[in-house]
């Protein structure tokens, strides 16, 4: 059987990974995607690493049962906690995400870089290594509770939250802001309006999509013809699927 026709599994702790999914759909329109939002166990960002790994294993088992040809961890926290383990255990490609600190560092002009992410992401060894390579001028900004506001689609409260966060910093000294959680990508337009135009905003959705295409190409797993499809699944309530559909329409990452 030609494995290239098999679906690609994508998952996140909730609906945040929809932003990355949209980028993958744009770049790989012929592929079949199964997106799993583990909303019953969200958020991952405040859990212990062992708890996150347990959640990831459960989701991965569900997706493997659908004969996926590749797995995308569309969550910075879950990537840091479980990507290494999954790559050792699975025979299919595993693509993860990381905060877009490298591109932010390339845009830096001797000012600060604000890295917005969950507390767990900011304290993981993977992120520490990223900071060692590209972290000059970078400041960790833990955003406890912001992911939940996106899950609730509470855009007014999210804006108030971000206004308080940015008020803590001298924006005249800031060169870039990193959206280090897939959920925050839904706030990108809002954040753009809140910041001076000269401040760059980086996030990892497009980079993850390009990496997925490269890996599938090397493995001869790209689907070359036909029309792609998207299937949405959740461990939570049925209304979570409708929320995912709304956010899929909202998430339009820039090329």
Which residues belong to the active site?
A: 75, 181
* Entry field: residues in the chain: 255
Residue 49 structure tokens:
């690493």
Q: 3-state class of 164 per DSSP? A: helix
User: Which runs of consecutive H residues, i.e. helices, occur in 109-204?
Assistant: 119-123, 125-134, 146-151, 155-167, 188-194
| Cα separation, 193 vs 116, whole angstroms | 17
How far is the C-alpha of 37 from the C-alpha of 235, rounded, in Å? 7
Q: To which residue do tokens 């991952």 refer?
A: 44
CB-count exposure of residue 180 (10 Å: 0-12, 13-18, 19+): buried
């Amino acid at each position: 059987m030609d494995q290239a026709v098999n679906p690609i599994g994508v998952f996140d702790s909730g609906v945040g990974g929809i932003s990355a999914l949209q980028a993958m759909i744009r770049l790989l329109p012929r592929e079949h995607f199964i997106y799993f939002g583990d909303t019953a166990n969200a958020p991952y960002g405040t859990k212990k690493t062992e708890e996150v790994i347990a959640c990831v294993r459960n989701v991965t088992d569900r997706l493997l049962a659908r004969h996926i040809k590749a797995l995308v961890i569309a969550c910075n926290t879950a990537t840091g906690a479980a990507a290494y383990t999954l790559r050792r255990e699975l025979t299919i490609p595993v693509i993860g995400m990381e905060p877009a600190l490298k591109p932010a560092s390339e845009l830096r002009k001797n000012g600060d870089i604000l890295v917005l992410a969950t507390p767990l992401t900011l304290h993981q060894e993977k992120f520490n290594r990223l900071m060692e390579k590209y972290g000059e001028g970078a400041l960790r900004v833990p955003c406890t509770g912001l992911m939940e506001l996106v899950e609730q689609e509470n855009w007014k409260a999210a804006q108030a939250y971000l206004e308080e966060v940015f008020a803590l910093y001298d924006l005249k000294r800031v060169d870039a802001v990193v959206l280090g959680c897939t959920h925050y990508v839904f706030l990108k337009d809002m954040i753009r309006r809140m910041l001076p135009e000269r401040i760059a905003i980086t996030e990892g959705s497009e980079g993850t999509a390009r990496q997925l295409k490269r890996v599938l190409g090397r493995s001869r797993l790209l689907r070359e013809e036909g029309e792609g499809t998207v299937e949405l699944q959740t461990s939570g309530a049925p209304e979570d699927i409708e929320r995912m559909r709304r956010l899929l329409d909202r998430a339009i990452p820039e090329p």
